[in-house]
Amino acid sequence: MRHQSAPVLLLTIGLLSTPVFAEQDLNKEILETVSWLAKNKSGLGYDLGARYSENLIYGDHVFRATKGSKTMCVAAVFETIIRTLQTAKDVEGNPVSSKLLPGSAIDGKGALNILPYVFQYGSTANFPEYGRKFSAGVGDAFVLFGIGRYVTFDTAKPGDFIYLNRVSGSGHAVVFYNYLGSSGKAVPDSKDASGFRYFSAQGVGTNGFGFRDAFFGNCPAVKHEFKEDCGVIKSSKRGTFSVSRLYAPSEWFTSYSAIRVERFFKGATIDTIFADEPNFRKRAKSELAEADAKARDYAKKGLFPLIVPAIGAEAEMAMQNLQTVGFKEGEFGPNFAE
């Protein structure tokens, strides 16, 4: 089983010089990707078994399309993210695909790959927080891999990601565009929102990539710009309705992600892991600095032993433990059929 690659697990101290949680995000870039997709990829076909509108080149990795230009919802969210990250740079000006988040850490079927969380594939292990065997969506990956966080619907920004469920029992994964009032028109504040506009891929109304207007409960009997999506459940339970945000790479801390992931599968909640993130990063910086000092001291004596910080050894052990956790590719937890 593939596990997280070494470049993601090994830290360069320079990455920790940026402020923790300065809340710089990629929402502007995500909206630019949405605009490009809406212009160039809309209405090219929908298939629940399809992946991506074309092969996606990400550094030296290729995410391959499976059914021509057809796609579906979680694949649409994934494609939006990958296209946005294709040009993203780390704090040193290098493509994030080269070391900070290589394609090998994203793709795959293991607990240390991002893709299965985005697609909500069924796992061989239980997700204790949700009492089921699939994630709450891309937000789980954002927190576990140190690249983003969950937010609330009241604080949602255009370019955030929403995973929703409907009273019908079906689910969907989308990019949030704006709030909608009961008139079907855009409103600036969530307190006046009866729903929201989103961008994704679906069969009904768009036949692939396109915009739709979603409403909580019954759709209002008014005209609105795009095909309606009724019966969305508004909930504070992340497993039913979630909103998440992708940080700018300057905010990322992908190193030692195996420790977060193992904690999660052992029963720690996403909120607990996220709340501990400042301490996690501080610990990593301290232990790495200590290991570096020891290495320099040995070097002065002409000795060059391998110095592994405690957090590195802990991450390596977590990686080994997580090799028993896999995902069933193609087997969605939610019912995404439309």
**Is residue 26 domain-resident?**
yes
Q: Is 22's pLDDT higher than 90?
A: no
What pLDDT was estimated at residue 3?
36
What are phi and psi for residue 194, nearest 5 degrees? -100, -5
Q: Is 55 exposed, middle or buried (0-12, 13-18, 19+ CB in 10 A)?
A: exposed
Q: Which of 142, 149, 139, 174 is nearest to 159 (CA)?
A: 174
Q: Is 15's pLDDT higher than 60?
A: no
What pLDDT was estimated at residue 308?
86
Q: Which of 132, 139, 146 is nearest to 162 (CA)?
A: 139
Structural contact between residues 137 and 129, judged by C-beta atoms closer than 8 angstroms:
no
For residue 273, give its domain range.
6-149+251-332
**Is residue 194 domain-resident?**
no
Least confident of 2-6, 22-26, 182-186: 2-6
For the residues 191-200, what does the mean pLDDT come to?
A: 97
Residue with tokens 């069969």: 203
pLDDT in tens, 285-336: 999 999 989 889 888 889 888 888 999 999 999 999 999 999 999 999 999 9
Structural contact between residues 58 and 41, judged by C-beta atoms closer than 8 angstroms:
no
pLDDT in tens, 87-137: 999 999 999 999 999 999 999 999 999 999 999 999 999 999 999 999 999
The number of domains in the chain is 1
**Is residue 233 domain-resident?**
no
Q: How far is CA 7 from CA 238, 284, 305, in A?
A: 31, 15, 21
d(CA 303, CA 67): 56
What are phi and psi for residue 233, nearest 5 degrees? -90, 120
For the residues 49-69, what does the mean pLDDT come to?
A: 97
The structure's pTM equals 0.92
What pLDDT was estimated at residue 202?
97
What pLDDT was estimated at residue 10?
34
Q: Assign residue 85 a region: left if phi > 0, alpha if psi is -120 to 50, beta otherwise?
A: alpha
d(CA 254, CA 310): 17
What mean pLDDT value characterizes the chain?
Answer: 92
Q: Tokens standing for 181?
A: 């009032």
**Is residue 39 domain-resident?**
yes
**Is residue 166 domain-resident?**
no
What pLDDT was estimated at residue 17?
37
**Is residue 82 domain-resident?**
yes
Q: How many CA atoms lie within 13 A of 80 on its CB side?
A: 36
Q: Assign residue 285 a region: left if phi > 0, alpha if psi is -120 to 50, beta otherwise?
A: alpha
What pLDDT was estimated at residue 21?
60
For the residues 25-47, what does the mean pLDDT come to?
A: 98
Q: Is 7's pLDDT higher than 60?
A: no
Q: Is 282's pLDDT higher than 90?
A: yes
What pLDDT was estimated at residue 20?
53
Q: How far is CA 83 from CA 6, 30, 99, 113, 292, in A?
A: 24, 9, 17, 18, 36
* Percent of the residues in the chain that have a pLDDT greater than 70, as a whole number: 93
**Is residue 198 domain-resident?**
no
What pLDDT was estimated at residue 86?
98
pLDDT in tens, 215-258: 999 999 998 889 999 999 999 999 999 999 999 999 999 999 99
